[in-house]
Structure 1
Amino acid sequence: MYSWDPDILIGYEIQMLSWGYVFDRAKFLKIGLAPRLSRIPEQKIRSQIELTDNSLARYKTDLFVIGRILLNVWRIVRSEVTLNIYTFENVSYHVLHQRVPHYSFETLTEYFNQDSHRWKTIEYYLMRCRSNFLLLNELDTVGLTSEFARLFGIPFYSVLSRGSQFRVESMMLRIAKPMNYIAVSPSPDQRAMMRAPEVISLILEPESRFYSDPVVVLDFQSLYPSIIIAYNYCFSTCLGNVKNIITDESRQFGCTTLRVPLATMKKIKEDYTVSPTGLAFVKSNIRKGVLPRMLEEILNTRVMVKGAMKKNKGDKALERLLNARQLGLKLISNVTYGYTSANFSGRMPCVEIGDSIVAKARETLTRAIHLVENTPEWKAKVVYGDTDSMFILLEGATKDEAFRIGREITKRVTELNPVPVKLKFEKVYLPCVLQTKKRYVGFAYEKEDQFEPIYDAKGIETVRRDGCPAVAKILEKSIKMLFMQRDVSLIKKFVLRQCQKLIDGKASTKDFVIAKEYRGRSSYKPGACVPSLEISKKLLATDKRAEPRVGERVPYVVVYGMPGLPLIRLVRRPIEFLSDPSLRLNAAYYITKQILPPLNRIFSLIGVDTNAWYNELPRSLRSAAFVPQSNDLIQKATISQYFNSLRCPICEIVTNHGICCKCQSDPQKAILLIQDRLRLMERAHCKMKELCYQCIGVRLCDVQCESLDCPILFKVLKAKHELVQASHLRKVIEVFSSRS
């Protein structure tokens, strides 16, 4: 630290592990580590490092070292990449495209205490340190954050820790200062006295059904920023409500009051516009507002930056820099409206301006919808609208006609609105399903010459993360079959086949791991039955530092249990499920509560009841087959495990005699089938272990990797459990051999 004097310190998780553990350990040993790391040693330790007394995970605050920037890598990745689980191994695979092993602390301690294996622990942590640097480099975190800080005019760490209001205010004040404006700084009491918003964005209720005809999707480009520029909406251009505009009295305006002299109003005459909410704003020829000027400069600069990117495509370093700038400009333009309407915790909210912007957007969208539905030559109907977009149904039209009509609509609507309000052609859905508000799916075509459509979904389970991966896969496959083949019988066979695989225990466990966000113990009511909270309690019982961080996604599975147990008692950690062969996935729960409801929400729109499909399965298929265990010490968790198997271990035909009569009548064939089955089981196990050896880089007799994000782990453990049955199968061979 003294030799290199770094500006930035990083760690994947700096509260319970990494730097957090080091600081806690130093505090326990009464070592003054914080003053040694700080660049201002004479400061008090409390100000050098914001560390709570026991650093429990319920505190979302990260650590701070005076004079240095301390980055929490997993929180940065969480804001940049959309994943189901944010473990180090899963992030490394999706961002760096490489598999890395995961060892428990017990295994690492065991390695470190052995002289011959100590290098494994050291190499493991060196690999994690290198990967942290590679993650930040791949995401270009330092470069992007530095460019954002330079663009917004705020400190480096404030880009990561502060919200959008801080960024907008920084840019706005730089423009307001040369114009001799001083920003208002309202108190919480003043914000509380401000009236509530009266206008919400226009969201039409969709006509929920399956559409086989083209549906054109059009949206206004940057609608709210464009309205602010076009109509000159700003704090500095508002004249107040037109009802009180001819008086000299002061009137309520946001958190403060506004008074426009009557003499000034006489000079302005007709040089003002009136918003749908009744507020008057002067035109730009009288006074250009601060917000319109800022947004106009931002949008013009972004166009210039994107043009420079096209001219310098070969220079990767310059291209990344320019891309960071245009991205920052885009973000700041999209959140400017939110700065005016943040009436609860805003820095300078003004509900009158926020309502005027939203009301004008509603009026613009409503006017466009009226034009579309009242133009006979288009024969169009708006079936859904949301804030700045509209979905237009063209019954009987072809794909080419849909593109032509869509472009005509965009041209006509754009001509009716002032610059820079512009309606943009986005895509054509053919076919599609509109489920509810903000939930739809379809095959999208973005160009006329596009041959293969793009599967595009919004708001449904295929793109959401609150379910298990199997639900997304089954639902997406079913929707694609509906769009391409339009044969419900084929979809039914596919869904029942997947259900049968789950019932028979042949489905991949990884596809049925559910991950939900943990909000911290203090955020839940007493006695709350939440799976992530239940898992965290079990972890805390073994190690208080093992509690998930606030915002971390906690994985779990649901297993079978004794009849009458509540669902919360059936929740298990994935590693706990894999280490106990007696546990089985609760097929009834996953099918009836996870898989079928999303399918029913889609297919009920075409008159198909998917819940009835599961009821059509034979009873013998709905009761999972029990595979006999050779280890009698395994704890029995379900009632079926107290009984012998009703299936023949050779041909798996249902029988009450252990081995069916058909196999007993032909012992040579039975022995051949068993030996072939043993060969396949052993080969699969060896193949899986070879893949593990290649990943960890060393050949060990017993691979102790516990990376739940690696699909190979589930296959390895499944192969191990199958090998447990090998002794039972060999006994069957001995029985047949003795008879012959």
Structure 2
Amino acid sequence: MLLDIDYNSKENRIYIYTTKKIIKKDFKPYLYIDADKNTINKFIDEEEPQLKEYITAIERVKKIIINLNDIENPYKNRTVEKTLSKITTDHPKDIPKLRKLQKIKANQRLANFPNGKIGTTYEHDIPFTKRYLIDNNKNIDLLNYNNIPDLKAVSFDMEVHFKDREPEPEKDAILMTSFYSHDKKINKKIKKVITYKPFEHESVEIVKDEKELIKKTMELLKQYNIIYTYNGDNFDFPYLKRRAEHLKIPLNFGENHKLKLSKGGMNLKSAISGIVHIDLYPIARRTLNLTKYKLEDVSKELFNIEKLEVGHHNIVPLWNNNNPKLVEYSLQDAEYTYKIGEYFLPLEIMFSNIVGQCLFDISRMSSSNMVEYLLLKHSFNKNYLAPNRPYGNEYQNRLKEGYEGGYVKEPIKGMHDNIVSMDFRALYPSIIISYNISPDTINCPCCGDTNDKILGYWFCKKKIGIIPEILKDLIERRKNIKDVLKNKNTTENNKDDNNKNNNENYKLLNYEQQSIKILANSFYGYMAYPRARWYSKECAEVITHLGRAYIRKTIEEAENNGFNVIYADTDGLYAILDENKNKNTNKENILNKTIKFLNEINRELPEKMELEFEGYYKRGIFITKKRYALIDENNKIIVKGLEFVRRDWSNIAKKTQKKVLNTLLKEGDVETAKQIIKDTINDLKNLPQSKIGESPGGDKKINPKDLIIYKQLTKDISEYSTATPHIAVAKKMRDRGDRLKIGDVIGFVIVNGSSPISERATIPEQATNYDANYYIDNQVLPPVLRIMEAIGITKDELKNNNKQITLDNFF
């Protein structure tokens, strides 16, 4: 069972690392070119003779090419079989050199070759190891949770010495490394901190010096199959490597296990051959919707646990004083990293198995990237030639293309009771399958006389497209899994052991259906993505057009059946019973009518499309498009688009809004909601001027920490031309030695003064003398006013205690 894959440049062979051994394979890199063999040889002889030494073979092969251009031409086949030249070379590094064949194609000297011309090169930019997995996808046994071996996993974290500046490996020592693992066979937790200073802590192993620490760290890590880190790609492993080089220590993780650093977009990738390094930071950013993505934020979100806080600037003082708090802090980093790793591992293994790429790469892929590699695998199996990625003008032209997105109905503002939600199950994937929408089926010459044109386009009715074919398989697979899960819920076994096994099997199947759902829902976005190989603005445009048509038709049918649709967005709607058409609008009646309506409308929909009952809600508040809040029967509150689920507001704003929403949704008490706002304003005006982290004292209800506002760095600090509060603070943090990178979230507090806001933005732990008026006018009032105004309360009424408001005002 494949664990990892690598290319050994010295031996010029593929290394396949399984859970038991290393398998070495001969595999040659190649590309395709649209030119015949004689033309290529003649061109090389006369124009680029040095290319001859890189070519080991030229073979004529037949491939099916998808024509992504000339969509308007009804006589142009979308797919054509064409004979190309497959050029093989010895080394992956030779592929870019052979692309010179394409770069010279516009040269006038090509007139010397009347029997042919040098054309486009294809599949020249697929990484070598990924190419191997694509070509051998039917013979590779990837990790699969249905039959997974015992994998030894460990988490790794380290603390370094730095003060008042960014740490530098050539100057700043590694102080300690921490590890956490769980041996499931014997149910034993392993906690260890390696350091070279005496700390009073049971998990500490003391070594001679930093050199010994690095050697011990490598010895420990190489015993495991999987290493979890949190930002290990960009910090831990690059720092460890450079520090080892500075100390002249060979960084040895064992024979055939080399640490390799490579560039991956804006970030680094840190790989150890044969050991799967999973950096959880990009997975958390891809999967979770949080304000900040520090380790403590993700731990809080997933497990509701509070992590010990130690600022970077406190590490050196704790180290100098041999304070065991530093050991506990480092150990907690490792423990929570391990917990997060174990949480995400099953889902990542499922992605790896479906897409057909190794776990290391999958864990760093976006959903669009996964879709592309799934398409590459499927294309190889069908003998399709993968389209090239766009470059230069082609990419720029794609960026300029636009089309209308999904339909969003303006909500009926206010508070509503007894709400049902209905949505289409996988609307866009269902549309793609039902209408056979794909770049290789659009405007095919065989079906051009059809009357079923959509926006002037039509789709082949005789041959299924590459994207609908993959989606059909995925959705059928997910449906079968969900049927099994449904049966497991209704046939629980009484025996404890069987229950345990059933629960474990249930979880694994649930992970699989989740991964399929994420992939299936990513195909529409992929076709609309300007950098996609299988890009098609026309297909994406048709999909959203049909989506709008179906949701509008559903709204019309719902209202004809006695519902009042209060909001709709892309693939779902919220409705109440129309009082003018229904004598009884209570819960029982609306649920009965909903079931009857769903049965009727689903009989009219295409086979793969289904409108489903999503949920019943006791009450909801609808404000504007994409901004609303609901409460279900279990008093769970669902919030969409409002400030307390967004990162760019302070906690005082989020907490006040949350209290107001809770009061309105749970109790329907408008007067209490108004008083909450007034109390918050008064508390802000009377807040003692204490530092962040200090208790506010007395009976005050506001913690100074709740005044921190967060903003993300979207580019390098030096690239910002205007002075904004978070950039002003980011510069101060950088100057004191904090490590900052693109994507980091900067916290700041606004203090009193008459200077511009950016000049009054302060590092939170240094802030005193808060500007209460700023927080009242710019943080507290704007988000709650949106809610109160939606239910008919004006700003003036909020300031007036005399007028009594009840629910009767809103219904």
TM-score, normalisation: structure 2: 0.62
Q: Does 1:166 align with 2:383?
A: no
Q: 1:568-587 alignment to 2 at 5 Å?
A: 568-577=758-767, 583-587=768-772
Match of 1:278 in 2: 456
Q: Which moved more, 1:217-226 or 1:463-472?
A: 463-472
Cα distance in 2 for partners of 1:193, 1:584 equals 52
Contact 1:199/1:355 (8 A) holds in 2:
yes
Distance in 2, matches of 1:109 and 1:522, equals 26
**In the TM superposition, what is the alpha-carbon distance from 1:458 to its structure 2 partner?**
0.9
Give the alignment partner of residue 23 of structure 1, picking from 202, 226, 241.
241
Provide the residue aligned with 1:604 in structure 2. 789
Which of residues 510, 517, 530 is equivalent to 1:323?
510
User: Is the helix fraction higher in 1 or 2?
Assistant: 1
Contact 1:39 1:67 in 2 (8 A): no
Q: What amino acid maps onto 2:527 in structure 1?
A: T
State how far apart, in whole Å, the 2-side matches of 1:237 and 1:96 are: 47
The residue type equivalent to 2:514 in the other structure is: L
> Aligned to 1:431, what secondary structure does the other structure show?
strand
Q: Match of 1:372, SS?
A: helix
- What is the CA deviation profile of residues 509-548 of structure 1, one whole-angstrom value per residue up to 9, with x for unaligned ones? 23322222222425853233132x22221122122xx132
Question: Aligned ranges for residues 286-365 of structure 1 at < 5 Å?
Answer: 286-309=462-485, 310-311=487-488, 314-315=500-501, 316-342=503-529, 344-365=530-551
Distance 1:23-1:280 versus aligned 2 partners, 3 A rule: same
Q: CA deviation at 1:438?
A: 0.8
Aligned to 2:511, the other structure's residue is in SS state: helix
Spell out, residue by residue over 1:332-367, the C-alpha distance to the aligned partner (whole angstroms, 9 max, x if none): 11111222222x211221222222222222222222
**DSSP-derived class of the 1:326 partner:** helix
* Alignment match, 1:519: 714
- Give 2:360's match in structure 1, choosing from 157, 169, 178: 157
Say if 1:105 and 1:425 are closer, same or farther in 2 by CA, change over 3 A: closer
The residue number in structure 2 matching 1:253 is none
Q: Does structure 2 retain, via aligned residues, the 8 Å contact 1:165–1:347?
A: no
Query: Shift of the alpha carbon at 1:94?
Result: 4.2
State the alpha-carbon separation in 2 of the partners of residues 125 and 568 from structure 1: 34
CA contact (8 A) 2:749 2:770 kept: yes
- 1:148 corresponds in structure 2 to 351
> Counterparts of 1:442-453 in structure 2 under 5 Å?
442-444=630-632, 450=633, 452-453=634-635
Map of 1:125 onto structure 2: 330
2:613 is aligned, of 389, 401, 425, to 425
* 1:401/1:568 CA distance change after superposition, 3 Å: same
More strand per residue: 2
Distance 1:190 1:538, change over 3 A: closer
Tell me the residue number matched to 1:534. Answer: 728
Residues 193-202 or 363-372, more deviating? 193-202
The counterpart of 1:388, out of the listed 566, 571, 589, is 571
**Residue type at the aligned position of 1:31:** K
* 1:10-67 Cα shifts (integer Å, max 9, x gaps): 433336753343334345x363655x358668x9x9xx32489xxxxx9533444555
Q: Does the C-alpha gap of structure 1 residues 435 and 301 become closer, same or farther in structure 2, counting only changes over 3 Å? A: same
In the TM superposition, 1:400-411 aligns within 5 A as 400-411=588-599
Rate the CA distance shift 1:5–1:479 in 2: closer, same or farther, 3 A.
closer
Note if contact 1:15-1:21 (Cα within 8 Å) is conserved in structure 2: no
Distance 1:123 1:597 in 2: 41
Q: Deviations over 1:260-314 (max 9, x none)?
A: 3xxxx4xx697x672421222232xx32333222212111111222344453863
Structure 2 counterpart of 1:497, which letter?
D
Give the paired residue count: 554
Q: Which amino acid aligns with 2:237?
A: W
* Alignment partners' CA distance in 2, 1:366 and 1:351: 23
1:568 Cα offset (Å): 1.6
Contact kept? 1:302, 1:329, Cα under 8 Å = yes
Are the structure 2 counterparts of residues 593 and 192 from structure 1 closer, same or farther at C-alpha, using a change threshold of 3 Å?
closer
Please point out which of 626, 642, 650 is paired with 1:468: 650
C-alpha contact (below 8 Å) 1:217/1:425 kept by paired residues: yes
Q: CA deviation at 1:597?
A: 0.9
Q: Distance in 1 between matches of 2:649 and 2:323?
A: 40
SS in 2 for 1:274: coil
Gapped regions of structure 2 (runs ≥ 5): 1-217, 489-497, 580-584, 688-699, 803-811
> C-alpha deviations, 1:226-269, integer Å up to 9, x for none?
112222222333334xxxxxxxxxxxxxxxxxxx3xxxx4xx69
Q: Residue 74 of structure 1 aligns with which residue?
A: 281
Corresponding residue of 2:261? 49
The answer to whether residue 717 in structure 2 is matched with residue 510 in structure 1 is no
Is the CA contact 1:214–1:431 (under 8 Å) kept in the aligned structure 2?
yes
- Structure 2 distance, partners of 1:93, 1:198, is 39
Give, in whole Å, the separation in 2 of the partners of 1:523 and 1:308.
55
Aligned twin of 2:130: none
Aligned equivalent of 1:13, options 216, 225, 231: 231
Q: Is the 8 A contact 1:435 1:601 kept in 2?
A: yes
CA 1:128–1:175 in structure 2 vs 1: closer, same or farther (change >3 Å)?
Answer: closer
RMSD over aligned CA atoms reads 3.4
Return the alpha-carbon distance in structure 2 between the equivalents of residues 515 and 369 of structure 1: 39
For the Cα contact (< 8 Å) 1:39–1:66, is it kept in 2?
no
Gaps of 5+ in 1: 53-57, 241-259, 445-449, 578-582, 618-740
C-alpha distance in structure 2 between counterparts of 1:486 and 1:558, whole Å: 34
Call closer, same or farther: CA 1:607–1:129 in 2, change over 3 Å: closer
1:217 to 408, 421, 440: 421
Q: 1:597–1:135: structure 2 CA closer, same or farther, 3 Å change rule? A: same
Partner AA of 2:567 in structure 1: Y
Residue 422 of structure 1, CA deviation? 0.8
What corresponds to 1:686 in structure 2? none
Aligned-pair CA distance for 1:7: 4.6
Q: Which amino acid aligns with 1:572?
A: T
Q: Given that residues 13 and 73 in structure 1 are in contact (C-alpha distance below 8 angstroms), is that contact kept between their aligned partners in structure 2?
A: yes
**8 Å contact 1:214–1:428 — kept in the other structure?**
yes
Instruction: State the alpha-carbon separation in 2 of the partners of residues 596 and 276 from structure 1.
Output: 47
Letter in 1 for 2:513: Q
Superimposed CA distance per residue, residues 473-493 of structure 1 (whole angstroms, 9 cap, x where no aligned partner): 222322333345545433222
**Residue among 226, 229, 234 paired with 2:433:** 229
**Does structure 1 conserve the Cα–Cα contact (< 8 Å) formed by 2:713 and 2:743?**
yes
Residue from 333, 336, 340 that aligns with 1:135: 340
Asked if the contact 1:151/1:325 (under 8 Å) is kept, the reply is: no
Residues 96-135 of structure 1 aligned to structure 2 (within 5 Å):
96-104=303-311, 107-113=314-320, 117=322, 121-122=326-327, 124-135=329-340
- Percent of aligned positions that are identical: 23
In the alignment, the residues of structure 1 paired with residue 623 and residue 243 of structure 2 have an alpha-carbon distance, to the nearest angstrom, of 54
- Once the two structures are superposed, the pairs formed by residues 175-186 of structure 1 within 5 Å of their partners are 175-185=378-388
Could you say if the C-alpha distance between residues 421 and 306 of structure 1 is closer, same or farther in structure 2, counting changes exceeding 3 Å? closer
CA contact (8 A) 1:384 1:391 kept: yes
**Alignment partner of 2:639: what SS?**
strand
CA distance in 2, matches of 1:167, 1:393: 40
Query: Which letter does structure 2 place at the counterpart of 1:239?
Result: N
Quote how far apart the aligned CAs of 1:592 are: 1.1
Give the distance between the partners of 1:179 and 1:103, measured in 2 at CA. 55
Distance in 2 between the 1:415 and 1:610 partners? 49
3-state secondary structure, aligned to 1:161:
coil
How much has 1:149 moved relative to structure 2? 0.8
Q: Which residue matches 1:477?
A: 659
CA distance in structure 2 between the partners assigned to 1:228 and 1:371 by the alignment: 23
The structure with the larger Rg is 1
Bigger relative CO (Cα 8 Å, ≥ 6 apart) = 1
Note if 1:589 corresponds to 2:774.
yes
Query: Which residue in 2 is equivalent to 1:556?
Result: 748
Task: Sort the Cα spacing of 1:101 and 1:360 in 2 relative to 1 into closer, same or farther, 3 A.
Answer: closer
